[in-house]
Structure 1
Amino acid sequence: MDGAQLRACLEAEVDELHAQGNIDSLIKQHYQYLGQYYKVRPFFYKNVLKFDRFMVVLAMLANYYDEHLPSLSKVRELCLQRGYLSKNSLESYFSFFIISGYMEVTHHPDDRRLRIYRPSVRAMAEAVNIVSAYYFPALGMTDTCDGSAKVSGRTVEAFFRGFKRILDADITLDMLLPESRWLINRDGGHMPMLALFVEALEKQAKAGSGCKRSSYGEMSAGLAVSSTHLIRLVREGETKGYFTTARSTLELSESFMQLVRKMMLINFAITRVSIRLGEQHTGQ
């Protein structure tokens, strides 16, 4: 399947998910799933979910399942080419994973200049958590809202094998929806965005579209980011027409709500297509 076919496949999945008419419920489920892991390891997820860093993690795992001897140099080359992080930042990020026990590194058997890596058991546990948070909502399995269900190791492998095809074709979220990047390439990744989105849904269901600004403190504590971080996000969004602030309230525009829905539809579509491609590749 070439890039054009992959893009068409993703677009078809987005249309199918949209036609189901329950995207808000799926987004809330994803937020609840990821939120429970985030609360246990907030500083880890705050850093890892920042979009550029998250893409490095996905590239590492995709390359790990795709290569017999996965090298860090190949991951570095791709990430530099895509502009995810600078060379120095990538080396620091790799060092973080090694020192923290998420990655094991050895020398290539035929070329000691190359570093061969593998994710540790600890890293794979986090990979299961993250894939689960996308997998169950993407398949519309709303009976797993308590977050206790976990995907199997085979599903994780299928996802990353398939995602490697999407990554190689450069049809990731930032390419399909460039206007989303300002929102997710910051500490916490898309979690602050989802927190605002879900809170707005809940307040709309009660009695209005306003979202109390006093919730910043509670949100920032739960996401391990500062209130200033959230305020900056809102101020930037205000200049783009996504938010309106007035005294003690923050109102989210319909364009913001639609942007979040588009982003998550694409994320869920990528999950579905990746797993399908990975299953075909592994002959499941």
Structure 2
Amino acid sequence: MQLSLRTANGGTICLEVNNLDTLDSVRATVTDMGYRVCNWHIKSWDSPQIFVLVGPDQKKTCLEYNPSDTVSDLKTKTGLLPDQYILFFAGMVLEKSSPISHYNISRGSTLNLVTYFGGYMTIFVVTNSGKTISMLVHGQFSARLVKKMIKDQIGYLDGQRLVNVYAGQELLDQESLSVLEEGATLHLVDDARTTSRIEMKIHVKIFLPRKTIELDVVNFDTINHVKHMIPEKEHIPIGLQVLYLPQKRLENTFTLAHYYIFNETTLYLAQIPAEYHRIPEALNKEGDLPKTRLSARSSSRMNAIHRITR
């Protein structure tokens, strides 16, 4: 549970305690935090409180508030310069002129305080219902924290997984968001999305020639099956195709569901030069192009494909 301590200068300290803690153990904890405890005066507070997590390290502090307070009033109570940070709740930026009641902030709610000094970005999360929400996050936030923020915003989560669609894989709870960039899109996925048969359309963007084709697929189709469908729309031999997402090359034996590829997803196709395909091994042991006589254009294209798919 949370214990709030009022300091002599009017500040507030929040501690995590349990019912077995004694006053002496609490005193020792406060002393370790750099405060000198002269005396105790214990009383219950009638004023409602909310919690504020500050910075990437999520240091917790408490604020007393009135239900009629605006966001600007809350900023004043933090004791920090209000123009150097923003407050957000459940991934939503709080406008300073808005009353906090507008955001359903109540006793015990947890807000995040974000400075303007780098590391923060806006990402988008697509829920199972198809709704897209925007969130302001830090690159050091964990997937577990982001899930909690999503739950605060939409009211439920029910064991859904958070998926990075650009890499075709789940973000594990302990992983940070450092692999993401500004504007990245994550998806909330439940078991039904990966275990039930779903018919869908996907797009394949081809580099040469520059065009995009549409395919009717099932989520249990393998990448190899998708490659066999492409020559029906565009005359590219199956053996010359390299399919990938922005952050991952797709292997033939895995299904679309394995890579969390859903309806309207865009895949990318690079074509291996025909003269290169005749070589049994695409890359030598060092990962370089083999010593063979390719045209300058083909060699350049093959090096570009290799960089993308390494």
TM over 0.5: no
Q: Give the helix-richer structure, 1 or 2.
A: 1
Instruction: Name the structure, 1 or 2, with higher relative contact order (CA <8 Å, separation 6+).
Output: 1
Larger Rg over CA atoms: 2
TM-score by length of 1: 0.23
TM-score by length of 2: 0.22
Q: Give the strand-richer structure, 1 or 2.
A: 2
